[in-house]
Structure 1
Amino acid sequence: MESSLWIIFTYYTIEFASASARFFKQSLAFTGVHQTALSLFRFVAALGRTQVVANTLGTFTLPMVFVLGGFVVAKDDIQDLIVLGYYVSPTPMMYGQNAIAINEFLPER
Protein backbone atom coordinates (compact mmCIF):
# COMPACT_ATOMS: atom_id res chain seq x y z
CA MET A 1 0.00 0.00 0.00
CA GLU A 2 2.83 2.41 0.86
CA SER A 3 4.66 2.00 -2.42
CA SER A 4 1.42 2.28 -4.40
CA LEU A 5 0.50 5.54 -2.68
CA TRP A 6 4.00 6.88 -3.20
CA ILE A 7 3.84 6.16 -6.93
CA ILE A 8 0.33 7.58 -7.29
CA PHE A 9 1.26 10.84 -5.55
CA THR A 10 4.71 11.39 -7.07
CA TYR A 11 4.85 9.85 -10.55
CA TYR A 12 3.26 12.69 -12.51
CA THR A 13 4.35 15.34 -10.00
CA ILE A 14 7.99 14.51 -10.71
CA GLU A 15 7.10 14.45 -14.43
CA PHE A 16 8.28 10.97 -15.24
CA ALA A 17 7.36 9.55 -18.66
CA SER A 18 3.65 10.15 -19.11
CA ALA A 19 2.73 6.84 -20.79
CA SER A 20 0.39 4.77 -18.64
CA ALA A 21 2.31 1.55 -19.42
CA ARG A 22 5.44 3.11 -17.95
CA PHE A 23 3.47 4.17 -14.87
CA PHE A 24 2.38 0.57 -14.23
CA LYS A 25 5.90 -0.77 -14.88
CA GLN A 26 7.29 1.78 -12.43
CA SER A 27 4.64 0.81 -9.89
CA LEU A 28 5.49 -2.87 -10.27
CA ALA A 29 9.23 -2.20 -9.89
CA PHE A 30 8.73 -0.01 -6.81
CA THR A 31 6.43 -2.58 -5.23
CA GLY A 32 9.03 -5.30 -5.84
CA VAL A 33 11.84 -3.22 -4.33
CA HIS A 34 9.63 -2.31 -1.38
CA GLN A 35 8.69 -5.93 -0.69
CA THR A 36 12.32 -6.99 -1.00
CA ALA A 37 13.46 -4.36 1.50
CA LEU A 38 10.69 -5.34 3.92
CA SER A 39 11.65 -8.99 3.63
CA LEU A 40 15.33 -8.24 4.23
CA PHE A 41 14.68 -6.25 7.38
CA ARG A 42 12.17 -8.76 8.70
CA PHE A 43 14.77 -11.47 8.15
CA VAL A 44 17.38 -9.46 10.05
CA ALA A 45 14.89 -8.89 12.88
CA ALA A 46 14.00 -12.58 13.05
CA LEU A 47 17.66 -13.57 12.97
CA GLY A 48 18.61 -11.08 15.67
CA ARG A 49 15.81 -11.90 18.15
CA THR A 50 16.68 -8.87 20.32
CA GLN A 51 16.80 -5.23 19.35
CA VAL A 52 20.51 -4.86 20.08
CA VAL A 53 21.51 -7.86 17.95
CA ALA A 54 19.11 -6.88 15.16
CA ASN A 55 20.49 -3.32 15.10
CA THR A 56 24.03 -4.70 14.93
CA LEU A 57 23.14 -7.04 12.06
CA GLY A 58 21.28 -4.24 10.29
CA THR A 59 24.32 -1.98 10.66
CA PHE A 60 26.41 -4.48 8.71
CA THR A 61 23.69 -5.56 6.29
CA LEU A 62 22.66 -2.15 4.98
CA PRO A 63 26.15 -1.06 3.80
CA MET A 64 26.54 -4.44 2.09
CA VAL A 65 23.26 -3.87 0.24
CA PHE A 66 24.38 -0.38 -0.81
CA VAL A 67 27.89 -1.35 -1.90
CA LEU A 68 27.07 -4.65 -3.60
CA GLY A 69 23.73 -3.48 -4.99
CA GLY A 70 25.19 -0.77 -7.21
CA PHE A 71 23.89 2.16 -5.15
CA VAL A 72 27.30 3.47 -4.06
CA VAL A 73 29.81 1.70 -6.29
CA ALA A 74 28.97 0.99 -9.93
CA LYS A 75 29.34 -2.59 -11.15
CA ASP A 76 32.23 -1.64 -13.42
CA ASP A 77 34.13 -0.13 -10.46
CA ILE A 78 33.78 -3.14 -8.13
CA GLN A 79 36.98 -5.17 -7.85
CA ASP A 80 37.07 -8.51 -9.63
CA LEU A 81 37.18 -10.46 -6.38
CA ILE A 82 33.80 -9.24 -5.18
CA VAL A 83 31.98 -8.63 -8.47
CA LEU A 84 30.11 -11.90 -7.83
CA GLY A 85 28.61 -10.15 -4.81
CA TYR A 86 26.96 -7.71 -7.21
CA TYR A 87 24.96 -10.52 -8.78
CA VAL A 88 24.18 -12.38 -5.56
CA SER A 89 23.82 -9.32 -3.35
CA PRO A 90 21.82 -9.76 -0.14
CA THR A 91 18.73 -8.59 -1.95
CA PRO A 92 17.74 -8.31 -5.59
CA MET A 93 17.30 -4.57 -5.14
CA MET A 94 19.98 -4.02 -7.76
CA TYR A 95 17.64 -5.47 -10.36
CA GLY A 96 14.81 -3.25 -9.15
CA GLN A 97 17.00 -0.15 -9.29
CA ASN A 98 18.04 -1.02 -12.85
CA ALA A 99 14.40 -1.61 -13.84
CA ILE A 100 13.35 1.77 -12.45
CA ALA A 101 16.21 3.56 -14.23
CA ILE A 102 15.59 1.82 -17.54
CA ASN A 103 11.86 2.54 -17.31
CA GLU A 104 12.53 6.24 -16.89
CA PHE A 105 15.49 6.86 -19.17
CA LEU A 106 14.52 4.90 -22.30
CA PRO A 107 11.26 6.52 -23.43
CA GLU A 108 11.32 8.85 -26.41
CA ARG A 109 10.50 12.41 -25.46
Structure 2
Amino acid sequence: MSAFSLSRPVIPSIQSSYSSSPLQVAQWEFQTSVVSWDIDTVAKFIGAGAATVSVAGSGAGTRTAFGSLIIGYARNPSLKQQLFYAILGFGVSEGMGFFCLIVAFLILFAM
Protein backbone atom coordinates (compact mmCIF):
# COMPACT_ATOMS: atom_id res chain seq x y z
CA MET A 1 0.00 0.00 0.00
CA SER A 2 1.26 3.44 -0.70
CA ALA A 3 0.03 6.82 0.30
CA PHE A 4 1.11 10.33 -0.41
CA SER A 5 2.04 12.95 2.10
CA LEU A 6 2.44 16.65 1.78
CA SER A 7 5.63 18.27 2.94
CA ARG A 8 5.94 21.87 4.00
CA PRO A 9 5.54 24.29 1.14
CA VAL A 10 8.68 25.74 -0.34
CA ILE A 11 8.27 29.48 -0.70
CA PRO A 12 10.84 30.90 -3.09
CA SER A 13 11.08 34.62 -3.26
CA ILE A 14 10.78 36.13 -6.72
CA GLN A 15 11.74 39.77 -7.16
CA SER A 16 9.10 41.62 -9.09
CA SER A 17 10.09 44.47 -11.37
CA TYR A 18 7.16 46.69 -10.34
CA SER A 19 7.35 46.11 -6.57
CA SER A 20 10.05 46.53 -3.98
CA SER A 21 8.81 43.56 -1.89
CA PRO A 22 9.51 40.01 -3.03
CA LEU A 23 6.60 38.01 -4.45
CA GLN A 24 6.12 34.69 -2.64
CA VAL A 25 4.72 31.64 -4.41
CA ALA A 26 3.98 28.44 -2.46
CA GLN A 27 4.95 25.17 -4.11
CA TRP A 28 3.83 21.83 -2.64
CA GLU A 29 5.99 18.75 -2.99
CA PHE A 30 4.35 15.31 -3.13
CA GLN A 31 6.04 12.24 -1.77
CA THR A 32 4.68 8.70 -2.08
CA SER A 33 5.79 6.02 0.37
CA VAL A 34 4.65 2.91 2.19
CA VAL A 35 2.95 3.94 5.40
CA SER A 36 3.28 1.01 7.77
CA TRP A 37 3.77 2.97 10.99
CA ASP A 38 0.36 4.62 10.60
CA ILE A 39 -1.34 1.27 10.01
CA ASP A 40 0.31 -0.16 13.14
CA THR A 41 -0.85 2.84 15.15
CA VAL A 42 -4.43 2.43 13.94
CA ALA A 43 -4.30 -1.28 14.80
CA LYS A 44 -3.14 -0.39 18.31
CA PHE A 45 -6.05 1.98 18.81
CA ILE A 46 -8.57 -0.56 17.50
CA GLY A 47 -7.17 -3.29 19.77
CA ALA A 48 -7.14 -1.03 22.81
CA GLY A 49 -10.72 0.03 22.07
CA ALA A 50 -11.83 -3.58 21.81
CA ALA A 51 -10.15 -4.36 25.14
CA THR A 52 -11.79 -1.33 26.73
CA VAL A 53 -15.27 -2.39 25.57
CA SER A 54 -14.98 -5.45 27.81
CA VAL A 55 -14.74 -3.13 30.82
CA ALA A 56 -18.40 -2.27 30.16
CA GLY A 57 -19.20 -5.98 30.37
CA SER A 58 -17.44 -6.08 33.70
CA GLY A 59 -19.63 -3.23 34.90
CA ALA A 60 -22.73 -5.13 33.83
CA GLY A 61 -21.52 -8.22 35.69
CA THR A 62 -20.86 -6.18 38.81
CA ARG A 63 -24.34 -4.68 38.61
CA THR A 64 -25.88 -8.14 38.25
CA ALA A 65 -23.94 -9.59 41.20
CA PHE A 66 -24.61 -6.65 43.49
CA GLY A 67 -28.29 -6.47 42.45
CA SER A 68 -28.72 -10.18 43.20
CA LEU A 69 -27.13 -9.64 46.61
CA ILE A 70 -29.58 -6.87 47.49
CA ILE A 71 -32.61 -8.79 46.22
CA GLY A 72 -31.56 -11.95 48.06
CA TYR A 73 -30.96 -10.10 51.32
CA ALA A 74 -34.28 -8.28 51.00
CA ARG A 75 -36.18 -11.54 50.50
CA ASN A 76 -34.50 -13.51 53.28
CA PRO A 77 -32.28 -11.57 55.72
CA SER A 78 -31.44 -14.72 57.69
CA LEU A 79 -29.26 -15.97 54.80
CA LYS A 80 -26.73 -13.20 55.34
CA GLN A 81 -23.72 -15.55 55.62
CA GLN A 82 -24.59 -17.54 52.48
CA LEU A 83 -25.16 -14.38 50.46
CA PHE A 84 -21.56 -13.42 51.12
CA TYR A 85 -20.55 -15.33 47.97
CA ALA A 86 -22.32 -12.69 45.88
CA ILE A 87 -19.65 -10.25 47.11
CA LEU A 88 -17.06 -12.72 45.84
CA GLY A 89 -18.73 -12.56 42.41
CA PHE A 90 -18.58 -8.79 42.63
CA GLY A 91 -14.84 -8.94 43.26
CA VAL A 92 -14.16 -11.40 40.44
CA SER A 93 -16.11 -9.26 38.00
CA GLU A 94 -14.24 -6.12 39.03
CA GLY A 95 -10.93 -7.99 38.74
CA MET A 96 -11.72 -8.96 35.17
CA GLY A 97 -12.56 -5.35 34.37
CA PHE A 98 -9.21 -4.16 35.71
CA PHE A 99 -7.43 -6.94 33.82
CA CYS A 100 -9.07 -5.81 30.55
CA LEU A 101 -8.09 -2.22 31.24
CA ILE A 102 -4.48 -3.24 31.90
CA VAL A 103 -4.43 -5.18 28.62
CA ALA A 104 -5.68 -2.07 26.81
CA PHE A 105 -2.87 0.01 28.31
CA LEU A 106 -0.33 -2.68 27.41
CA ILE A 107 -1.53 -2.66 23.81
CA LEU A 108 -1.21 1.12 23.64
CA PHE A 109 2.06 1.75 25.43
CA ALA A 110 4.13 -1.46 25.55
CA MET A 111 4.17 -2.47 21.90
Which has the higher relative contact order, 1 or 2, with Cα contacts under 8 A spaced 6 or more apart?
1
The structure that is helix-richer by fraction is 1
For normalisation by structure 1, the TM-score amounts to 0.40
Q: TM-score, normalised by structure 2?
A: 0.40
Rg: which structure is higher?
A: 2
Q: Which has the higher strand share?
A: 2
